[in-house]
Structure 1
């Protein structure tokens, strides 16, 4: 949640600082301001990392486990975890979420500058993420408890995917209509973004029920590493997409064909990928609300018995 707020702040402030309008009305990047702003954000990152390190206190004391005669093989443990359908489902769905959302975020700068020619609207679009998060923070847990995290995630991804495909088909030219429809699309993906880490806990519980062993650190480590791979891929794909479209980084203004290509990729790509994410949750990820509740009851019985 904190990372989301930081992302919104950057998305709102950066376009207002780094872009200026030339005599012909084109949105042009001020390279000096980009460098200065990057330096400021980097310094802030270092300070906040140091504050996190200094101000955190470890209060959890782990009990020393009794040594057993049987040695646990690392490869065997990894094999059991990687072979988990639940873990595979949550990793694939998280990767697709990252690919879609980060690809869209990466291309938004070009979409608003070269297609809509309105970078102020980019800041407004980013600012709309705040009410979406605040709204979902109040209701997401209640919805997940009532209907299930998997079930709500499927609906959210379907909503986002369907809206982005619709936006692509309509080929909207009014930036404010576009922002309004994207606002609706953000609700679905933001819900799953808030819940995807909670799915990892369900995977850990399911693994303990099936094998009798609880591998919190290993499962979370695999999931976290997979997300880093997704973030790296998404960052590279934005550049590859622009190259395929024919984007000319030296040109002051892009051709109409390139601007249309940016619009199509920014809308159809996340739309299709979000729909694939919903399919993964439905067909691959097996932990429905009923099974999660069953696992919780079984673990409570074992731990209390």
Structure 2
């Protein structure tokens, strides 16, 4: 069976309904889903810590503890929710996307509450408000992000088109990033200081846009890869976990994503302090966002032909190596202006884009490998374990970020930070991601086993196996 023949099997009947072939409508709908996710996720990862330290006046180390506990809790919520979804049947709208419609409104309402500032309250009140709203938001985020991420493996079963779907997903994140990375700093900072009221209004606007994006994702996408539950043996949690621990592609992908998550979120968090304190130029944060979007726009049309020719693993590993070397170079160039720093870091942004644009396609391949090796089709379970790993990464990033900012001596009450504090912030922004990206290059480039040839063969072998099981 060729890859062309494989894709023609996408028109299927589910519960008596004929599903249309995979196409542009699915890609655009899936793009909008990640727009909805990232309007708040990027806002939180970029500005919530500085909101807590500069508006609520919570100690940075305490913020790190909040982030660490919340993200660990979210990791367990991811797995529990993934197992629950896998135990549910398929409706006329699919198995995964109805949950996006059901849970998106509670999610964005809680997101707004995170940025509420009631003047004159006690320090204990602000600490409790931060902890409770952040925990609830993170839990609700699982109820939307787990089904959304799981959808990718059932929208199409073609490896190249799954890479395209991953690219469109990342493009959706990129579009949200334009508003958050480029416009938000110009709105929420006044005279180089964070304005709580402006940040709250920004959160409200993003909430409305996010709801619209989630609804469009629900309407435009179609789930068409269906494995009937009566034809597959059921796996319990222990058995699934045991299989995943023997699944080498899963192990190396989730380990890579763990380190990527820690590094990327740490950079997002520390960059706010870097440009606010080290460069004394918060307006440059908008340029960072613009350059990041521009480099990704350039990379987007290159991904599919490069993956088709070389493979996901190959182009991602190369990009990670270049990105690591760029950050390590920046560490030794300490006398740069903000503009010079951004221009050099754009090389890293561009090269890293190839991993970012293909990362979700790795997960769909891992899900297929899990089915092929175990006979269990557990999309949400596999994705939820991946999401749990990312949440652990977010916990570590939040904890490390808060403790690291406190450790280098950052003091929100000072108009000008000490030289030691500024040097520490610069090192956190350059040396740490440089080392981490090099580690991911080794893990993905050396240990991850699904190269181009093996990935294409897996799709063909799995299609043949399903055909035999249905006879």
Q: 1:73 to 1:255 in 2, by over 3 A?
A: closer
Counterpart check, 1:237 vs 2:421? no
Counterpart check, 1:28 vs 2:193? yes
- Secondary structure at the aligned position of 1:224 is classed as helix
- Secondary structure at the aligned position of 2:193 is classed as strand
- Secondary structure at the aligned position of 1:118 is classed as coil
Q: CA RMSD in A?
A: 2.5
CA shift for structure 1 position 156:
1.0
Q: 1:67 to 1:2 in 2, by over 3 A?
A: closer
- Deviations, residues 184-226 of structure 1 (Å, cap 9, x unaligned): 1001222101111101122123233333443323212211232
- Deviations, residues 250-292 of structure 1 (Å, cap 9, x unaligned): 1122122211211111111111111111111133321122221
Alignment size in residue pairs: 298
Counterpart check, 1:135 vs 2:305? no
Is 1:99–1:234's contact at 8 Å kept on the other side of the alignment? Answer: yes
Partner residue of 1:226 out of 359, 377, 389: 389
> What TM-score, normalized to structure 2?
0.58
CA distance in 2, matches of 1:179, 1:61: 43
CA distance in 2, matches of 1:200, 1:168: 33
Gap runs ≥5 in structure 2: 1-170
Counterpart check, 1:197 vs 2:367? no
- Secondary structure at the aligned position of 1:119 is classed as coil
Counterpart check, 1:171 vs 2:341? no
Counterpart check, 1:13 vs 2:178? no
Matches within 5 A, 1:1-305: 1-21=171-191, 27-46=192-211, 48-49=213-214, 51-52=215-216, 55=219, 60=224, 62=226, 64-66=228-230, 72-303=235-466
> What TM-score, normalized to structure 1?
0.87
Is 1:156–1:192's contact at 8 Å kept on the other side of the alignment? Answer: yes
- Deviations, residues 24-56 of structure 1 (Å, cap 9, x unaligned): xxx33334433443444345445654x358746
Q: 1:67 to 1:107 in 2, by over 3 A?
A: closer
Q: 1:58 to 1:180 in 2, by over 3 A?
A: closer
Is 1:164–1:267's contact at 8 Å kept on the other side of the alignment? Answer: yes
Is 1:200–1:220's contact at 8 Å kept on the other side of the alignment? Answer: yes
CA distance in 2, matches of 1:179, 1:275: 20
Q: 1:66 to 1:112 in 2, by over 3 A?
A: closer
Q: 1:295 to 1:62 in 2, by over 3 A?
A: closer
Q: 1:75 to 1:17 in 2, by over 3 A?
A: same
CA distance in 2, matches of 1:204, 1:67: 17
- Secondary structure at the aligned position of 1:171 is classed as coil
Q: 1:65 to 1:103 in 2, by over 3 A?
A: closer
Is 2:227–2:377's contact at 8 Å kept on the other side of the alignment? Answer: no
Gap runs ≥5 in structure 1: 22-26
Is 1:116–1:173's contact at 8 Å kept on the other side of the alignment? Answer: no
